[in-house]
Structures are given as structure tokens and as C-alpha cells.
Structure 1
């Protein structure tokens, strides 16, 4: 394989590859949003107050709305949403199985850090797709409401019990490692998606996966900011 064009250029000139990559991106994100809906619903049951339960229920409803938008876009493109999502069931389910929270606070950190890293990955891929796909992805991945809610809750918990900071910081680092591991798996198994992501890397290379690795390294830079926002140390 060879790299695509540099960052800021249009989608790859190979139309079939671009189409396959777009369907992969939308299928991956659709399944991620569907799982996020179920996970936030479960997290709401762990919430300590009725207000917290209501906040998480609202976030879960938003995730389901995003799933429907992605599902409808796949249908507009002539794709079967279930077929588009199927290749990503195993890696995403593996990510969630390996990062099962043990309590309410761990579930919050996972919602913020884990989903944030995944969102950075989706945005990087979307940058070299068509304008409609790019706008849809950025809209679906808007995390302002969730980020503010989670960061505030974790900061308050750490302020009440500073000993929590170390445990939650370690948990955050584990989430990042597991997220990047599964993202590497997806890139390996879906070469069209990897080729599109590699087009974001301006470094000349003969390997899409090498370029993808460099992109992942850049994605981790946002991790420190998210950890700091929660009152933890990277």
C-alpha cells in the first residue's frame, strides 16, 4: 500500500477505496454509538443520586439519536447498517470487556477518557472524507455536555477523597492503552480505513500502518488534557 495525499487534501482519488472507507467509518461509529447508549443506560443505574441518573439517561438518549443519524446515512448510501457495523462488533466488544468499570467513578472516567480517545480517532479519519460525512461525524462526536458533567463529578469526588486520584489516573492510563490496542486491530483488519487515516500523516512512508501508528501517537496528546480536566495527573 501507499499513503494517500497529505492532510487537507480531498478524499483519496480511488473512488472504490474512499467509498469503502466511508462505509467502514460510519459502520464503526454507528456501532460505537449504539453500545454507548446501552452502556450509559447501565451507568445510570449505578449513579448515586436521582439527578445523576437523569443526567446519564439524557446522555444515553443523545447517543441513541446519534446512532439513528448514522444508521440513516448508511441507508442513504445504499448500505445495510447491520452489515456495515458487523466487522466492528468484535473489537469494540473486546474493548468494553477488557475495561469493565468496577464502580461509578470508573464508569465516568471511562465515558470521558475512553470515548474521548475513540472520538479523536473517528475525527481524524473523517477529515479526509466528503463534507457531508465529515459534518455528520463531527456533530455526532460533540462531547461538550458529557465532558462537563463527567469532569465535574470526578473533580468533586477527588476533592472529597484525594486518595482516589492515583487509582483513577491509573485506570485512565489503562483505558488509553486498551483503546489504542483495539484501534490498531481495526486498522489492521480494515485496510481501506487504515489507508484513509494514513492520508492524514504527512510523513513519507511506504506503510499505511506505520502512518497510522504515528497518528495514534498524536491522538494520545489529548489524553493529558482530559485527565487534567478531571483533577487527576497524567
Structure 2
């Protein structure tokens, strides 16, 4: 670690939590890149294909800075990502889109759910790490593009709305299950949320409110798409 590393990293448990968090976000970005690149094959027009590939490129662009920070902390980026491959891969296997519109909703709603979870955790980090996490979760064009395409499709075929609403609810359930599993499986992340002598933590009621906020933001995204949550 460098001389500019925050004092918080003198706590080995805190350092482990940050390494875990950066590792799971980095692998999440890589898997998002792979998924979006695959979704591009479903694009109905060349314009749509280019838009999705641009999103994929933006996702992958975040990985370098996350890996750089992991290296600064004395961690091997690939070892840091490894514990999360199974859970994230399982999520994508369970939520493979059946068509172009399901892929768009997953890119917008599914990624939004994961990003909300990581932003919530970022509130308990040192300023430098928090800024890095928030920057890595910046929206990469999913919103306007997905909302425009999905709303236009529903206007053309209202029956599509019911199916996509069910898909959105399925994504919500799978994403929350994954988030809870990741937090429970990694003692360091659980300890981070619990706080320490120099950091505030979350009790069970606060954790409940955190997931309530994530659920509310999911409902807002679904409404933007013209779908019931």
C-alpha cells in the first residue's frame, strides 16, 4: 500500500472488505460486458447493435481502474474476483433473456439493482474508495436507450407489457437473492455493514430499510419503462 492509503486500511478486516467489494464489482463489470456483447446479436437494427456494443465497451472500461486500486492495496485482482464468479455466473444463467426486449430490461433494471446495492455499501467506505465505486457504477447509456425502445415496443403491442412486467419481477427476485447470498457468504462484507469502532454500521432494521430503498428504485425504473413492478 502507498503512503496515501487512508488510515482505515490499517484495519485488516476493513481492507479485506474493500478487496472483496472491488473484486465483486470488477467481475460484475466483466460479466456485464460479456452479456451485452452477446445481447448485441439479438439487436433488430444496426443502430441498436452499435448502441449495445457501446454499452458493453463502457462496462469493460471500468475494470482497469478497479484492478489498479486492488493492486495498490496489495491484492491480486484475479484472486479478488474469483470468489464471486460462481454467484454472478449463476445469476446470469438464471436470467438469460429470451429476446431483445428481455435483454434490454435486464441491462437497465438488472444492472440498476446490482448498482444500487453496491452504492448502498459504498456509503460505509473511505472517501477515495467510495468515489471509485460510485464512478465505476456510472450509468453507461442504458437508461434513455432502453426506455425508448421498450416503451415504443409496448405502444406497438400492448400485450408485450404483461410479459415484460413479469420478467422485471423475476429479475428483482434473482438480484436480491444474489445480493443477500454474496453479503452472507463473505464475512468481510457482513462485517463492513455491521460497522466498527471508527465507522457506523447497520442493524437489522437499517438493513431492512436499505433493501426497501433498493426495491423502491426498482419500482421507479419499471415505471419509467411503462411496466408494473
TM superposition score normalised by structure 1: 0.88
CA contact (8 A) 1:37 1:63 kept: yes
Tell me if 1:172 matches 2:168.
Answer: yes
Q: Report the counterpart of residue 224 of structure 2 in structure 1.
A: 229
Distance in 2 between the 1:72 and 1:13 partners?
16
| Map of 2:53 onto structure 1 | 57
Check the 8 A contact 1:126/1:134 in 2, yes or no. Answer: yes
Task: Show CA shifts across 1:95-133 (max 9, x none).
Answer: 111111100000010111111010001001111111111
Given candidates 48, 57, 69, the residue that maps to 2:65 is 69
Of 211, 214, 220, which residue of structure 1 is paired with 2:215? 220
SS at match of 2:141: helix
Compare relative contact order (CA 8 Å, sep 6+) and give the higher one, 1 or 2: 1
Return 5+ residue gaps in structure 2 as ranges.
1-5
What TM-score results when the alignment is normalised by the length of structure 2? Answer: 0.90
> Which of 137, 140, 160 does residue 136 from structure 2 map onto?
140
Shift of 1:197: 2.9
Q: Name structure 1 gaps, 5 residues minimum.
A: 1-9
Runs of 4+ in 1 over 6 A off after TM superposition: 10-14, 200-203
Number of matched pairs = 221
Over the residues paired in the alignment, what is the CA RMSD in angstroms? 2.2
Residue aligning to 2:3? none
The match for 2:119 is: 123
1:201 & 1:165 partners in 2: Cα distance?
A: 42
Kindly tell me: are residues 201 and 148 of structure 1, through their superposed partners in 2, closer, same or farther at Cα, counting changes over 3 Å? farther
